[in-house]
Amino acid sequence: MLHLPYRELPVSDPGTPDTRSPLRFLVWLAGHQKHLLFFNALFGIGWMVSQALLWAAVGAAIDHGIARHDPLQLWRWVFIVMALGLFQALCGALRHQLAVTNWMHAAYRTVQVIGHHITITGTALTDEIPSGDIVNTVAADAMRIGGAYDVFARFMGAIVAWIVVSFIMLSASLELGLIVLIGVPVLASLTTPLMRPLHAAQAAQRETAGRLAALGSDTVAGLRILRGVGGEEVFLANYRQQSNLVRRAGNRIATPQAGLESGQVLLPAILTGIVTLLGARDVMNGTLQAGQLVAFFGYATFLTTPLRTAIEYVIATTRAFVGAGRVLRILNVVPLVEEPATARTWPTAVERLEDRTSGVRLERGQMVGVVSERPEETSALADRLGRFQPGESGVLINGVALDEFSVRDTRRNVVVSEIEPRLFSGELRFELVPHGYTHDAPIYDALDAASALDLLDALDDGLDTTVEERGRSFSGGQRQRLNLARALLRNAEVLILVEPTSAVDTHTEGRIAARLGAARRGRTTMVATTSPIMLEHMDVIYLLVNGHVVAHGDHASLVRDSPSYRRIVLRDESE
């Protein structure tokens, strides 16, 4: 097998896609794997041309060896036939390997650019496009896009092989050569009227399938509510109706696609019949040798492959074009948070993080608590610090506006863990650390800090346990502790925690509060909470009223000096 330098997937940076049109997007993808495509095309040409030349060698063996009773010439051409066969096998294997590589690179680069765009668009994307449709685009359309690059090498080989065969036949028979040279593109062009209806039918089917996926996704999310109100039958009727629309749209694809695929058999058969008939006539007239007729018949039979490949490429590129259109629908959604025209380089260390709106100030290495009677105030603060709100955030990093740094750098260095824990299906180890660790020690340390080792002990397979969808096999408190462990494993320079212990009992909360500082030593942590158990371990606490800091200090001083703090944290109604 071929051992060319390659980059592992996913790539570290998929690049900035050209989203002006589906064609430009596909060209942009091709540009990122042009070397792979070039070598793949070379092997595709070698694989296809060697098949064509094989018939020339067979014809020469008949004319120069058998017809002339020349054993030496016969063995010479037999050797050439064997060499061409070996060369064809080698090129075929390498072509297939690179074809799969090109398919994977195009598909997964597409998945990556979608994933990266999702991380910066926030809720703007799901406000415009149903989540089920987004999943369908990643799962299906990206694979269809990759399919066009899979067929590319065979298509290039088909074109070159057609030219080579045409010129070989022209040198022996002008008439037959012209038939092949002109006939192949003419026959292939007969399929073009089917391309537009195929494109339209595929786009319509993709649209209805996306709606069906969105309907299914929304239903799974709200299944408990549906059962509670007795809405299963209503959903079933809606789902059945949308399924029928998908089925009918798929049936409409069948007509143009069947026409294209039947053309793969019929059109080459017509060409083979014409070449064979005229070639046999020339042999009877003495203008063509028997070996040449055998070669010509082989050429005509072989040309079924280039014709079929050309039609297959038309189908694959049509699907890719439709898929690229669906991808661009996602990529053209404007993010809520805009990137700066020229992003600053992220500082080597975040010494100070300040929110000018509220007056909250985080110093490097501090454990900072934020208290407010209104949860929406602390949530808004967390959104500003994590840069999740549109417009100017009013947040400064080391005296520089957070808006001047890239969203990607912000997400990497400032992690916001919200109150609602979200777990996905998959192996627990990679649920906690999506990008993986070489060993499990950091995972155990984070679970210990989150007081979740007992949860791990209760699982038969430990970190290898498969998490069910949405983590429904865990209680709310267990999900919250796993969510905290995942946040700690990010090792972010700044970690924002919103009510990280609201669903756990007081004993567990005490253990988490005592261990959190050690787990985050040397890095900045903000905890938005009203729990006195957590607040006792904070270096400094800010009290917000109407979104602004009205008092700050440690827990003991605020309990002593602030009636509002006592009322919120200690539930002191006398205040």
The helix or strand, by DSSP H or E, that contains position 199, with its residue range, turns out to be helix 195-221
CA–CA gap between residue 161 and residue 299 (Å, rounded): 10
pLDDT, residue 2, reads 47
Residue 523 near residue 516 (C-beta atoms within 8 A): no
Give per-residue pLDDT as tens, 178-231: 776 676 667 666 666 655 666 566 666 666 766 666 666 655 555 555 555 555
Confidence (pLDDT) at 149: 92
150 three-class SS: helix
251, 220 contact by CB (below 8 A):
no
Cis peptide upstream of residue 10 (ω within 30 degrees of 0): yes
| Amino acid at residue number 155 | F
Rg (CA), the chain: 33
Q: Spell out the domain ranges in the chain.
A: 22-331, 352-569
Cα 33 to Cα 36, 92, 109, 183, 473: the distances in Å are 5, 20, 10, 33, 43
The CATH T-level fold of domain 352-569 is Rossmann fold (3.40.50)
Query: 22-331, what's its fold?
Result: ABC transporter transmembrane region fold (1.20.1560)
Q: What is the predicted pLDDT for the residue at 233?
A: 66
CA–CA separation, 522 and 514 (whole Å): 16
Contacts with 231 (C-beta within 8 Å, 6 or more apart), sequence order: 225
Contact assessment for residue 544 and residue 368, using Cβ atoms and an 8 Å cutoff: no
Residue 289 CB partners (closer than 8 Å, separation 6+):
59, 63, 67, 283
* pLDDT for residue 518: 93
State residue 251's pLDDT score.
72
Inter-residue contact 357 to 384 (CB < 8 Å):
yes
The pLDDT score that the predictor gives to residue 479 is 87
Positions in the chain short of pLDDT 50 = 1-3, 5, 573
| pLDDT value, residue 335 | 82
CA triple 485-490-491, angle to 5 deg = 105
